[in-house]
């Protein structure tokens, strides 16, 4: 058996990506948030014992205090994806209380008219609430104004086939991406989304260009490929993957917008060693990206003059 061409393919060297944002440790391994949580739980249980020790036996109070202490410790120490348990609970409560039907209107939509059958309004559910988007405005260069959250510049990224690379190549790509993350000077978000794609125009171009090919075999191959794509669309929804890079800068001045745009351009140079092509979006492309994020089928329906199809 011949030796492998790349001896490190099966066991490529690990590349550690450092965590950019870390909480400061103030008391051993505990952060400020964890120390405050544990202190608050301890004080709560201590005050409770001072108030109840003359009325409740110690073993009974201990049985009641242990679950409370365990819940407080879990809330202080457990986190997932950078979010603590108490933050998850607060987010869950906000989601439960928030309206589920939103409408793009500046004010809360008015109620149904009096002449409408009450049974219909009851079946429709609660009135929709105003849809408050974080984007307030966009300048001529495509930088988004997020109000108190600062400025944001968008860029579209290509993809790289990581599985087909050798071990050393994978380590090189991972190291280049780690250097990009380590060099980030502000918040960065990477969005991977799937959206519907329509091949009608591509198939039409193939069929139109097939007649001008210099050899009958090439024409036959082009028509066969167009027929394959045409049959591929039937009975299934085709999706394309799109990766957006968002960089944000705090502030509301013109200099902040320039810094956000400059960071998007710097990201293109930083990700080039990872075989990733980054194109900052201009105003028109950024508007299309935002519209597609709100309604992935809108652009597809607008191009072909038909109702949006079902998206998976």
128-157 per-position pLDDT tens digit: 777 778 888 888 888 999 988 899 999 999
Same domain flag for 72 and 150: no
% the chain with pLDDT above 90: 11
What's the mean pLDDT when you consider all of the chain?
79
Does residue 63 belong to any structural domain of this protein?
yes
Q: What is the CA radius of gyration of the chain?
A: 28
Same domain flag for 161 and 300: yes
Same domain flag for 156 and 273: yes
pLDDT level of residue 112 (50, 70, 90 thresholds): low
For residues 251 and 235, is the Cβ–Cβ distance under 8 A?
no
Same domain flag for 245 and 167: yes
Q: What one-character DSSP code corresponds to residue 110? A: P
Residue pointed to by tokens 């125009």: 201
Q: Which tokens sit at 310?
A: 């079902």
% the chain with pLDDT above 70: 82
Q: Distance between CA 77 and CA 79 in Å, rounded?
A: 7
Number of domains in the chain: 2
Does residue 184 belong to any structural domain of this protein?
yes
Q: Is 240 helix (H, G, I), strand (E, B) or coil?
A: strand
């Amino acid at each position: 058996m011949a030796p492998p061409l790349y001896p490190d393919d099966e066991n490529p060297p690990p590349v550690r990506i450092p965590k950019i944002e870390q909480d400061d440790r103030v008391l051993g391994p505990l952060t400020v948030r964890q120390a405050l949580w544990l202190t608050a739980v301890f004080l709560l249980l201590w005050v409770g014992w001072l108030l109840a020790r003359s009325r409740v036996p110690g073993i009974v109070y201990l049985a009641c205090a242990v679950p409370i202490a365990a819940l407080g410790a879990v809330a202080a120490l457990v986190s997932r994806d950078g979010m603590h348990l108490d933050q998850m609970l607060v987010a869950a409560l906000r989601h439960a209380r928030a309206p589920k039907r939103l409408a793009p209107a500046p004010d809360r939509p008015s109620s149904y008219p009096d002449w409408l059958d009450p049974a219909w309004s009851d079946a429709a559910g609660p009135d929709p609430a105003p849809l408050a988007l974080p984007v307030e405005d966009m300048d001529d260069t495509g930088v988004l104004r997020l109000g108190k959250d600062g400025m944001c510049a968008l860029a579209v990224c290509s993809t790289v086939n990581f599985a087909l690379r050798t071990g050393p190549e994978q380590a090189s790509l991972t190291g280049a991406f780690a250097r990009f993350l380590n060099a980030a000077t502000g918040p960065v978000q990477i969005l991977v989304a799937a959206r519907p794609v329509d091949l009608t125009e591509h198939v039409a171009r193939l069929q139109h260009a097939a007649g001008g090919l210099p050899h009958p075999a090439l024409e036959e191959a082009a028509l066969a490929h167009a027929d394959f794509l045409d049959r591929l669309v039937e009975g299934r929804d085709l999706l394309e993957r799109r990766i957006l890079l968002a960089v944000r800068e705090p502030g509301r001045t013109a200099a902040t917008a320039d810094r956000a745009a400059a960071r998007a351009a710097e990201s293109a140079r930083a990700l080039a060693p990872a075989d990733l092509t980054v194109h900052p979006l201009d105003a028109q492309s950024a508007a299309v990206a935002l519209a597609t994020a709100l309604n992935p089928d809108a652009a597809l329906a607008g191009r072909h003059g038909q109702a949006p199809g079902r998206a998976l």
